[in-house]
Chains A and B, each alone.
Chain A
Amino acid sequence: GAGVSQSPSNKVTEKGKDVELRCDPISGHTALYWYRQSLGQGLEFLIYFQGNSAPDKSGLPSDRFSAERTGGSVSTLTIQRTQQEDSAVYLCASSLGLARTQYFGPGTRLLVL
């Protein structure tokens, strides 16, 4: 079946602009996660959703970052007033439920000039 899909695959933006990244989880997966992978760094947790609720937002680096999930499916990660340090690969994962294996999408490569 179809895996996790993310769009766009690549995004180049100018410093100060807002960007929206989209994630479509595997059908039937109730939990959805966002991670960030920077050069030289490991994957860092940002936020996760169970249904449309976000019980853990502890990884969001600043109030410029926000995320929402609608209909228990698609999620959008929004970065406002982008900075160069926001350049990274943003990865989305989904799982059948809590404490279950997380399956990752291909990521969105964000470059802030």
Chain B
Amino acid sequence: EDQVTQSPEALRLQEGESSSLNCSYTVSGLRGLFWYRQDPGKGPEFLFTLYSAGEEKEKERLKATLTKKESFLHITAPKPEDSATYLCAVQAWSPSVEGGSEKLVFGKGTKLTVNP
């Protein structure tokens, strides 16, 4: 069974204090790993897709990296507006579904709070 574990569950940072969020995954075959941001009362907002180990993607203060077992979301010099819950999800190849499974399997998220 495909599983995603995110850590820590919650993280408090001071503005400007860089840190990383972890996403460990177990899948039969990784088709893609996705990072989303979710603000309270809203739907998840897409950030990044990573497909293979060694891949990195950046957007403003965020950088996502991928290994064969985990992904990291690095936040450099965060600002209060970066406060949100960050969700990691995997999409897997499935032997029972031609072309692979379309469903995303999500972790429970990391709630990030950045204090001014």
Contact = CB atoms under 8 A, between A and B. Distances in A.
B34 A91 contact: no
A99 B91 contact: yes
Contacts of A105: 43
Contacts of A58: 103
Contacts of A43: 44, 87, 89, 104, 106
Interface residues of A, number: 27
Interface string A84-113: 000000010100001101111111000000
A99 B106 contact: no
A60 to B, nearest CB: 12
Given A42-B109, A56-B97, A102 B104 contact: yes
- For this complex, into which size category does the number of interface residues on chain B fall? 20 to 34
A59 B103 contact: yes
Nearest to A107: B43
Given A41-B108, A99-B31, A56 B103 contact: yes
A79 B99 CA distance: 30
A44 to B, nearest CB: 8
A19 B45 CA distance: 26
Contacts of A98: 99, 102
B34 A101 contact: yes
B99 A33 contact: no
Contact of B106 (A31, A42, A48, A101): A42
B112 interface: no
Nearest to B4: A42
Contacts of A65: none
Given A43-B106, A105-B43, A106-B43, 13 more contacts: A35-B104, A45-B103, A45-B105, A91-B43, A91-B44, A98-B102, A99-B31, A99-B32, A101-B46, A102-B34, A102-B46, A103-B46, A104-B43
25 contacts: A31-B102, A33-B104, A35-B104, A40-B108, A42-B87, A42-B106, A43-B104, A45-B103, A45-B104, A55-B97, A56-B103, A59-B103, A91-B44, A93-B43, A98-B99, A99-B31, A99-B91, A99-B99, A99-B100, A99-B102, A101-B34, A101-B49, A102-B34, A104-B46, A107-B43
